[in-house]
Structure 1
Amino acid sequence: MKNFALIGAAGYIAPRHMKAIKETGNTLVAALDKYDGIGIMDSHFPDAHFFTEFERFDRFIDKFHRDSDQRIEYIAIASPNYLHDSHIRFALKSGAHAICEKPLVLNPHNIDQLKVIEEETGKKVYTILQLRLHDSIIALKEKIAKELTENPNKVYDIDLTYLTSRGRWYFMSWKGDVAKSGGIASNIGVHFFDMLSWIFGPVEENIVHIKQPDTNAGYLKLKNARVRWFLSVNYDYIPDEIKATGSRTYRNITVDNDTFEFSEGFTDLHTISYKHILEGYGFGLDDARHSIEIVSAIRKLEPIGLNGTYHPFCEKVGNA
């Protein structure tokens, strides 16, 4: 049984980390969040120590091994995106491995600095890249790899469309602040960019067509793919037939006009991620680099409007 701590216990994704810690046979010793309505902890680790102030949490982590002759071996991080880098550093310097939610950090230079701290501390940084563990996506990667063995110069045409509706609260929270979330591409798209570059190779061209607070869209040329992508939290852009079902989310990926279906199979991916990490096979800093480079570049690029090769949903924004 390994001892875990959790930074960011009140957010949407935190219960998946609690569940993963429990289902892998480990224990949550302490958790931190400035919000104190964490009733969900009763379902997982009611005896865990809880802190709303970082300073007291820091002191507890430091004292724990002195008082109990045990260590906090892993610190899971599900805090706001802009704090990931700082909280990873804290974990490593506290003698623990870090398990961090996506996006791992906001900029590639943060990865370079964390590699230095890994060397100094002898501890590892792991990131949650759960789409790489999805059965359908693994099957797609194997299919594409086989086809590229037969035809290494093949270039696929891909459309990535992801809409996940958010209310007005979103733009009043840290998620609506580009400096804190990294913007739409970082906050809701980074794992898709990771998956695509993992399967189709590194980026050769990166163009942004639309960059608005609720919507990003652009074009990526990967080594073996041309990708038109559209990401939004605006309900208005969801297709009418999807709205008619009552759904507020639309996820679609086409590969050479064939729809790639992967709507199911997400329930246990955090637990599977934790199993991989505990077995020594987790995804580290270098695994996260390509996707962080992509979203960091998107953040800095100027949108060119509806010119060139753009996603068809861009016209919805133009007509809004």
Structure 2
Amino acid sequence: MTASDPEVGPEGDESGGRPFQRAQTALRLRLADGTYRKGDMLPSQRSLADDLGVSRDTVQNVLKALAEEGWITSRQGSGSRVLKVPSAATPQGRPQLYDFMHNAFWQSEVSLDVSALTAESFVGLFSRQVERVEAQEIAPRHVRVRMMLPSEDTALLYPRAWDANDGRVHQRWRERARQNVADMNDFCERLRAKGVDVDLQVRRVPSTPQFKLYIVNNADALVGFYTPVRGPIRLEDGMTVVDAVDVKGAGATLRHHPRPKEGNARQGSCFADFRDWFDSTWNLPEQLTSGRDESA
């Protein structure tokens, strides 16, 4: 990592920062929309960095994450080649949130339940669906989103500075979570401007999530457990580095639990367990939550 690059530490959808997430989402979309096809060589890291408006270090981290997930192969001095491309209809390899959200928004009724540390990945992919609506590619009638995030005053297990008296990493997390909520409000307003009926609710709960959970159209649950790792985190000033505990995001495995077909309730699937967990936690009495409901 160079001193000028703001992305340091265990990068990922919950901890890597906006440049990483923006570049990762952009490359995923290019794989999905046919810009890069199976067998194609990707542009050089320098070209990608210039095109995406991020540093070469960020591009290297994104390519590493895509290689770990099996989408590309990278070799020193030979560049990166596409091994496979995602399908919105039939997710390939490791389940990808992008595939399921892309498919969900073809429906007239869309429901999305999210429990995460910041929901960075979700918000980035939601913005892509807004762009599809604005481009008249899709036309959902109703979109309902429930986002469950930790309350701001919760003493999180992660992310946090290794020094318990240093609150700067917590403040960094707080600001990112706030920004993601603000972005979601903006995206929902853009959908409303296109005639979509939107219901966005944000609930803050006093606990550190042990896993990220996405429930899409009440049909598919995607679950990924957080893995705490110790390492340096660069603060928003771009200069200060703090020894901290964060979570592994990039390359983290999401597991897919489909809703069992009628007649096979709960058989061979944890969908109902995750569905019940989300609803039960969401519906806890207000005094047991943070008391903040940022519905919009």
Q: TM-score w.r.t. structure 1 length?
A: 0.30
Q: Which has the higher contact order (CA 8 A, sep 6+)?
A: 2
User: Counting helix residues as a fraction of each chain, which structure ranks higher?
Assistant: 1
Q: Which has the larger radius of gyration?
A: 1
TM-score (norm. length: structure 2): 0.31
